[in-house]
Amino acid sequence: MTKTFSIPTKLPYAGTTIFTVMSKLAADENAFNLSQGFPSFDCSPELTGLVDHYMKKGFNQYSPMSGITPLKESLAEKTSLVYGVDYHPDTEVTIVSGATEAIFCAVTAVVHPGDEVILFEPAYDSYRPAIDINGGVPVYITLNAPDFAIDWELVRTKITPKTKAIMINTPHNPVGTVLSRQDLEQLAAIVKDKDIFIISDEVYEHIVFDGELHHSMMTHPILRERSFVCGSFGKTYHMTGWKIGYCLAPKELSDEFRRIHQFITFSTVTPMQYALADFLKIPSHYLRLPEFYQKKRDRFNAAIKDSRFTFTPSKGSFFQIVSYDRITDEYDYDLAVRLTKEIKVAAIPVSVFYQDKKDDKLLRFCFAKDDWMLDKAGEILCKL
């Protein structure tokens, strides 16, 4: 008789992620996939040509654990150029297999059982599992529509002797907000005399609109000394499937981060690192992104302006949040599934980003798609 095993789960609330669910449903229904945050267009032929070059040159074995030196140097140079902040490539720059790994390693590096970690919700779905697996206690602060602004006075009331970290996401997924310089000043005032770390998800750092600036945690001296800044080449260069990210952090933080990283993925795909090291040296490859994606955002918003959806244009990221409260009172998850099946346009319900599944009648659409797809999806949505 075959033995049946019962495995007590560390994540009892976690099923298959909404991104997998909605992308599969979109594929099954032959729907326009404006749900999961990946571009429908390819990355630069120059970049794939560089990968081909390095593969054929034999750069196909393990890379060093913390990443190849040329890529760490290129990333440090870019960071200095864009933000005026210098990280030492050998000791403060770590290449990892995607920003999700960077976030997990950063949480694991500092969070011990019983430690509290402040989360702002709606929160990306990998944050809480990383905290729970490490025995931490998530402490939620809800950001409310329509502006989703952080109430820093409320944050002060949530700080306790057990607070170990605060998780930041700017530009924000799913709601597309961008933290201001004043937000950084408020955060710095809260943590300056405390042993609190910052874990900052900045994967959309180069995708900001309407003249907004991305204010990285590294640009404030009080925040930089305690921050793990997590980034993504995939979001910047339209190749999310490569799963290459990085973490920038002071040496003492990076040392502990690497202790964790070496036992999770150890190293990241080698020829692609060499390709990125070369590609990153040309600033226009990332400095033109705001203009490129603002045109995508504006095109999608123009396509739905005559619909019954209401929205405030996104300030950053791949995403546009829309309210459907003038259309139906359905639960957002049910509506997202129905729209995918009936009108063949897939979106993400925003309730999945709240621990209590708070339903504000909002959907998240990804506009990192081909223009014809944005136009067609908008035409369909206007008929609702």
pLDDT tens string 319-338:
999 999 999 999 999 999 99
Per-residue pLDDT at 1 exceeds 80: no
Instruction: Specify the CATH class of 61-283 in words.
Output: alpha beta
For residue 3, the model assigns a pLDDT of: 83
Cβ-based burial of 109 (10 A; exposed 0-12, middle 13-18, buried ≥19)? buried
361: alpha, beta or left, given left = phi > 0 and alpha = psi -120 to 50?
Answer: left
Q: Do residues 121 and 142 lie in contact, with contact meaning Cβ atoms separated by under 8 Å?
A: yes
Tell me the torsion sign for CA atoms 206, 210, 211, 214: negative
The CATH superfamily assigned to 18-43+287-381 is: Aspartate Aminotransferase, domain 1 (3.90.1150.10)
Beta-strand relationship, 345-346 and 32-33 = parallel
Nearest Cα to 304, choosing from 333, 343, 357, 338? 343
Q: How confident is the model at residue 15 (pLDDT cuts 50, 70, 90)?
A: confident
Task: Tell me the pTM.
Answer: 0.96
Q: Where in the chain is the domain with CATH 3.40.640.10?
A: 61-283
Q: How confident is the model at residue 297 (pLDDT cuts 50, 70, 90)?
A: very high
For residue 2, the model assigns a pLDDT of: 82
For residue 153, the model assigns a pLDDT of: 98
Q: Where in the chain is the domain with CATH 3.90.1150.10?
A: 18-43+287-381
How far apart, in whole angstroms, are the C-alpha atoms of residue 99 and residue 245? 5
Cα-to-chain-centroid distance, residue 161 = 29
How far apart, in whole angstroms, are the C-alpha atoms of residue 375 and residue 50? 33
Q: How confident is the model at residue 155 (pLDDT cuts 50, 70, 90)?
A: very high
Return the C-alpha torsion angle 101, 107, 108, 109, nearest 10. Answer: 110
Lowest model confidence (mean pLDDT) among 5-14, 96-105, 200-209, 306-315: 5-14
Give the per-residue SS3 of 70-98: HHHHHHHHHHHHHHCCCCCCCCCEEEECC
Percent of the chain with pLDDT over 90: 97
